[in-house]
Structure 1
Amino acid sequence: MEGKSTAVDGRRSARSAVASARVCLGQIDIGELTDAERLQLVAELERLKGAAVAAQARAVDAVRRSRESSCPRDALRSVGSEVALARRESPALGDRFVGLAQAVVHELPGALAALEGGALGERGVVEVVRETATLTREDRLEVDARLRGLYERLGWRSLGRAARRVAAELDAASVVRRMERAVAARRVGVRPAPDGMAYLSVLGPLREVVGAYAALQSRAAAVVGGGCPDEGPEGRGRGAVAADTALRLLSGRSPGQVQPVEVHLVMTDRSLLGTGGPGGSSMTPARVPGHGSVPAPLARAWVRGAGPASVWVRRLYTTPDGRDLVAMDSRRRIFGGLLRRMLVLRDDVCSTPWCDAPIVHADHVRPAREGGPTSLVNGAGRCARCNQVKEAPGWAARVARASPRVLELATPTGMRLSSRPPPVLGWGSDPPASGPSVGGSGPGQASRGRPPSRGRW
Structure 2
Amino acid sequence: MTEDPQRRDATGEADDGHHQVHDAPPADVPVRVEERAVLVGEVDVAAARAALMTLGVQGSPSLDRLSVAETKALLSSIVGIEAALDAVRARALVRLEAAVKEDCLQREESPRQAMQVARSEASRMLKESRSVAGRSLATCRRLVQSMPGMLTALAEGTLNPRSVHTVGSAMGPVPPHVRELVDTMLTAQLPDLQDCGTREISDHVARMLHALDPEGAAERHRRAMKDRHVTITREDHGMASVRALIPAIDAARIRKGLSVAAEGARAAGDRRGHQQIMADMFADALVGRGDGIDPTTLDIGIIITDRSLLAPAHADAATIEGFGPVPYDHVREAMLRAVDSGGEDTDLALTLRNLYADLDDGQLVGVEARSRAFPASLRRFLTLAHQTCRAPFCNAPIRQMDHIVPWSQGGATSLDNGNGTCGGDNQKEESGESVRVIHDEDGTRRTVEWTTRYGQKSRRGGINFDPVGTYRRQRRRQLAESGIAGLPAPPAAGSSAPAHPALPAATALDGVPLSAAETPPVVDSPLETAPPPVPSAHGTGATGEEPALDEGSSANGWSTIYRAFDRLQLRIADLPIIRPRPVSDDVLVLLDDMARGSAPRPSRPPGPTDAPEPPAH
TM surpasses 0.5: yes
Question: Partner residue of 2:350?
Answer: none
Cα distance, 1:417 vs. partner?
1.6
1:409 paired residue among 437, 450, 455? 450
Q: Distance in 1 between matches of 2:164 and 2:131?
A: 17
Superposed, which structure 2 residues align to 1:155-194 within 5 Å? Answer: 155=196, 156-194=198-236
Structure 1 contact 131–167 (Cα < 8 Å) conserved: no
- Kept after mapping to 2: 8 A contact 1:132/1:164: no
Q: Verify the 8 A CA contact 1:127 1:157 in the aligned structure 2.
A: no
Cα distance in 2 for partners of 1:126, 1:150 equals 17
1:108 has 2:144 as partner? no
Aligned residue identity for 1:430: T
Equivalent position amino acid for 1:31 in 2: D
Matches of 1:116 and 1:225 in 2, distance apart? Answer: 51
Q: 1:58 aligns with which of 91, 100, 104?
A: 91
Superposed CA offset, 1:150-204 (max 9, x none) = 5572443333233223222221211221122222222222223344322222221
CA contact (8 A) 2:32 2:38 kept: no
Residue 219 of structure 1 pairs with residue 261 of structure 2: yes
Indicate the structure (1 or 2) with the bigger Cα radius of gyration.
Answer: 2
Report the count of equivalent residues.
346
Secondary structure of the 2:439 match is strand
Q: State the distance in 2 between where 1:115 and 1:213 align.
A: 34
8 Å contact from structure 2 (residues 139, 172) kept in 1: no
Q: Which residue of 1 aligns with 2:49?
A: 22
Alignment of 1:92-107 (within 5 A): 92-107=131-146
User: What runs of 5+ residues in structure 2 fail to find an aligned partner?
Assistant: 1-30, 293-374, 476-485, 488-499, 501-617
2:263·2:274 contact (CA, 8 Å) conserved in 1? yes
Residue 417 of structure 1 aligns with an amino acid whose one-letter code is S
- Say whether 1:398 aligns with 2:436: yes
The alignment partner of 1:55 has SS state of: helix
Quote the Cα distance in structure 1 between the aligned partners of 2:387 and 2:46.
Answer: 33
Residue number in structure 1 paired with 2:185: 146
Q: How far 1:238 moved relative to its partner?
A: 4.3
My pick for the range that moved more, 28-37 or 343-352, is: 28-37
Q: Distance in 2 between matches of 1:59 and 1:166?
A: 29
Partner of 1:252: 288
Q: 1:205 to 1:199 in 2, by over 3 A?
A: same
1:39 has 2:72 as partner: yes
Superimposed CA distance per residue, residues 8-54 of structure 1 (whole angstroms, 9 cap, x where no aligned partner)? 63895349933322221123323243332222222221122222221
Residues in 2 aligned to 1:142 and 1:214: alpha-carbon distance in whole angstroms: 36
Distance 1:112 1:11 in 2: 30
Give the superposition deviation at 1:394: 2.6
Change (3 A) 1:157 1:222: closer
Structure 1 residue 207 displacement after superposition: 1.1
How far 1:214 moved relative to its partner?
A: 2.0
Residue 417 of structure 1 aligns to a residue in which SS? strand
CA shift, 1:397, in A, is 0.5
Shift of 1:100: 1.0
**Aligned with 1:356: secondary structure?**
coil
Paired residue type of 1:17: D
Match of 1:431 in 2: 471
Identity of aligned residues (%): 28
TM normalised by structure 1 equals 0.68
- Mapped partners of 1:393, 1:141: distance in 2: 32
Residue 240 of structure 2 corresponds to residue 198 of structure 1: yes
- The code of the aligned residue for 2:389 comes to C
1:207 equivalent to 2:232? Answer no
CA offsets, 1:186-236, max 9 Å, x none?
Answer: 22222233443222222211111111222223333444444xxxxxx7654
Please name the residue that 1:49 is paired with. 82
What amino acid is the match of 1:201? Answer: R
Distance 1:198 1:370, change over 3 A: same
- Over 3 Å counting, the alpha-carbon distance change for 1:150 and 1:242 in structure 2 is same
**1:311 maps to what in 2?**
none
Find the aligned partners of 2:254 and 2:170 in 1 and give their Cα distance.
26
1:159 and 1:381, CA in 2 relative to 1: closer, same or farther beyond 3 A?
same
What is the deviation of 1:372? 1.5
| Rounded Cα–Cα distance in structure 1 between residues aligned with 2:256 and 2:144 | 43
Separation (CA, whole Å) in 2 of partners of 1:101 and 1:238: 40
Match of 1:134 among 159, 170, 173: 173
Q: Which residue number in structure 2 is paired with residue 368 of structure 1?
A: 407
Paired with 2:235 and 2:119, the residues of 1 have a C-alpha distance of 28
| One-letter identity of the residue aligned with 1:242 | M
* TM-aligned CA distance change 1:154 to 1:166, over 3 Å: farther
Is the CA contact 2:235–2:241 (under 8 Å) kept in the aligned structure 1? Answer: yes
Verify the 8 A CA contact 1:111 1:151 in the aligned structure 2. Answer: no
3-state DSSP of counterpart to 2:255: helix
Rate the CA distance shift 1:373–1:151 in 2: closer, same or farther, 3 A.
farther
For 1:146 and 1:10, the matched residues in 2 are separated by 44
Equivalent residues of 2:100, 2:117 under 8 A apart: no
Alignment check: 8 A CA contact 1:224 1:236 kept: yes
Q: Tell me, in whole angstroms, the C-alpha distance in 2 between the residues paired with 1:344 and 1:385.
A: 17
> Partner of 1:72 in structure 2?
110
Shift of 1:77: 2.7
Classify 1:86/1:8 alpha carbon distance in 2 versus 1 (closer, same or farther; 3 Å): closer
Q: How far apart, CA to CA, are the structure 1 residues paired with 2:156 and 2:271?
A: 54
In structure 2, the residue corresponding to 1:148 is in which secondary structure? helix
Residue of structure 1 aligned with 2:387, choices 314, 334, 348: 348
Measured after TM superposition, the shift of residue 89 of structure 1 is: 1.4
Distance 2:253 2:209 in 1: 28
CA RMSD of aligned residues (A): 3.0
Contact 2:449-2:457 within 8 A present in 1 as well: yes
Q: Is the alpha carbon distance of 1:170 and 1:420 closer, same or farther for their aligned partners in structure 2, counting shifts above 3 Å? A: same
Q: Corresponding residue for 1:117?
A: 156
2:214 and 2:468 map into 1 onto residues whose CA distance is 51
Amino acid at match of 2:471: P
Given that residues 120 and 431 in structure 2 are in contact (C-alpha distance below 8 angstroms), is that contact kept between their aligned partners in structure 1?
A: no
Aligned to 1:190, the other structure's residue is in SS state strand
Question: By how many angstroms is 1:145 displaced?
Answer: 1.9
Check the 8 A contact 2:38/2:46 in 1, yes or no: no
In structure 2, what is the Cα distance between the partners aligned to 1:26 and 1:393? 33
Kindly provide the amino acid, as one letter, of the partner of residue 424 in structure 1.
F
Displacement of 1:121 after TM fit?
A: 3.2
The 2-side partners of 1:237 and 1:114 are apart by 41
Q: 3-state DSSP class of the match of 1:397?
A: strand
Query: Within 1, Cα distance between the matches of 2:465 and 2:433?
Result: 28
Distance 1:218 1:116 in 2: 45
SS of 1:202's equivalent? strand
Provide the rounded CA distance (Å) in 2 between the counterparts of 1:140 and 1:134: 10
Equivalent residue number for residue 275 of structure 2: 239
- Describe the SS at the equivalent of 1:81: helix
Specify the alignment match of 2:565 in structure 1.
none
Query: How far is the alpha carbon of 1:404 from its aligned partner?
Result: 6.5
Q: In the alignment, residue 26 of structure 1 is paired with which amino acid?
A: M
